[in-house]
């Protein structure tokens, strides 16, 4: 994999397209290593997350269609909201969890693969 381009360049297709959910990607996009820590909030498909659900994750790679990162255990949720980039240029994306696989030989870590669905204008807080 080549060096990762700027996150805004990778996410740019979401700014040009509609906010409708996309068809599932089939690894048709080039992937770049993305060894940074970002924030993720796991939730049900139509649930709006709270900031309390945000957790830092160690990212592995990213593409135009999705990204992968590591967790200490598998997630039970099918969707998440990602907070990518750095202040003041944060990017918020709703994503679908595609796979959750144990990392060999370190059985205490899981690699989570997500598919980007929709770019959001802000973090979608639910009323509590």
State the Cα–Cα distance between residues 93 and 95, nearest whole angstrom.
6
What is the per-residue pLDDT across 63-89, written as a single tens digit (0 to 9) for each? Answer: 999 999 999 999 999 999 999 999 888
Domain ranges of the chain: 7-120
**∠ CA 107-53-90 to the nearest 5 degrees?**
100
What is the per-residue pLDDT across 34-65, written as a single tens digit (0 to 9) for each? Answer: 999 999 999 999 999 999 999 999 999 999 99
Contact residues for 93 (Cβ-Cβ < 8 A; gap 6+):
11, 14, 81, 82, 84, 116, 117, 118, 119, 120
Name which residue leads in pLDDT, 69 or 29.
69
User: Is the model's pTM score more than 0.95?
Assistant: no
What is the fold, at CATH topology level, of the domain defined by 7-120? Thrombin, subunit H (2.40.10)
Q: State residue 69's pLDDT score.
A: 98
């Amino acid at each position: 994999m080549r060096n990762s381009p700027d996150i805004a360049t990778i996410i740019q297709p979401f700014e040009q397209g509609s906010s409708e959910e996309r068809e599932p990607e089939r690894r048709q996009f080039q992937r770049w290593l993305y060894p940074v820590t970002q924030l993720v909030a796991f939730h049900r498909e139509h649930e709006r997350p709270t900031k309390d659900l945000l957790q830092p994750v160690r990212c592995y790679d990213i593409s135009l269609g999705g990204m992968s990162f590591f967790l200490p255990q598998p997630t039970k949720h099918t969707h998440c909201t990602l907070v990518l980039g750095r202040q003041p240029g944060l990017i918020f994306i709703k994503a679908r969890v595609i796979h959750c696989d144990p990392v060999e030989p370190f059985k205490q870590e899981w690699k989570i693969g997500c598919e980007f669905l929709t770019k959001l204008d802000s973090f979608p807080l639910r009323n509590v």
